[in-house]
Amino acid sequence: MKNWLKKEYGKLANKKYLHIAYYENNEQHIKRFKLTDLDIVLCTSCFNIDLYSITFLKEKIGIPNIYGVKFSNNERESWRTIEEAYHEAYCTYTNLDNYDESAGSVSCEVIGNKSQIRFDVNAFYSHSGKMSNIKDLLKNRKVHLYTKDKEIISKVKNYDEIIEDEDVDHIYLPKNIAKLRHSLKGIQTKKRWFRHHK
């Protein structure tokens, strides 16, 4: 593992709390958890540290539609104050509804008490027509969804084009994007071990 990556993971491992931002019933919510109550797996893609999965050890059901996670040492901090002072992991978030982010995500899957980020679902945004302001951009944007999952295709709304690529699994499966997965639960032990995945 690269030294800079070890340093970043080390910073996160020393935090005490994880703040999770998510949508529920078209409303934004933020919950705080102690890291000891979670089993967090992160991965790397390009130069980002990405959220791969969260298992809620004291909950029966995971959290859907997660769009952000931030680590901190202060349980009373707000989402905004953490933004400048602490590290956050990137969350893949593919909208269920092209024009309404709060409608939910098709890339965050809940399996029991585990929230799993799916890397095999990707959306690429483009724009058609003339653009005079940001409202026009948002109104006229087209989304190309890349997935082979028929269930996902049946759920999405307002997507102008859905492309099924035979090689999409090979490109986007976590085993390729997540060349390195790292459990924060494990790094908090004295062993400070790292897991390498091909």
Nearest alpha-carbon partner for 175 in 195, 146, 197, 147: 197
pLDDT, tens only, 118-172:
888 888 877 766 667 777 766 777 778 888 788 888 888 888 777 776 665 555 4
For residue 180 the two structure tokens come to 């390195």
Question: What would the mean pLDDT of 33-61 be, rounded to a whole number?
Answer: 87
E strand segments, the chain: 17-24, 27-34, 38-45, 48-56, 66-72, 88-89, 95-97, 100-105, 108-111, 114-117, 122-127, 141-146, 161-163, 180-183, 195-196
Please report the pLDDT score of residue 154 as a whole number. 86
Distance between CA atoms of 71 and 85, rounded to whole angstroms?
10
Query: What is the percentage of the chain residues whose pLDDT exceeds 70?
Result: 72
pLDDT, tens only, 65-89:
999 999 988 888 888 888 765 577 8
Please report the pLDDT score of residue 135 as a whole number. 73
Residue 176, classed as helix, strand or coil, is helix
Helices vs strands, H then E, count in the chain: 7, 15
For residue 46, the one-letter residue type is C
**pTM, two decimal places:** 0.78
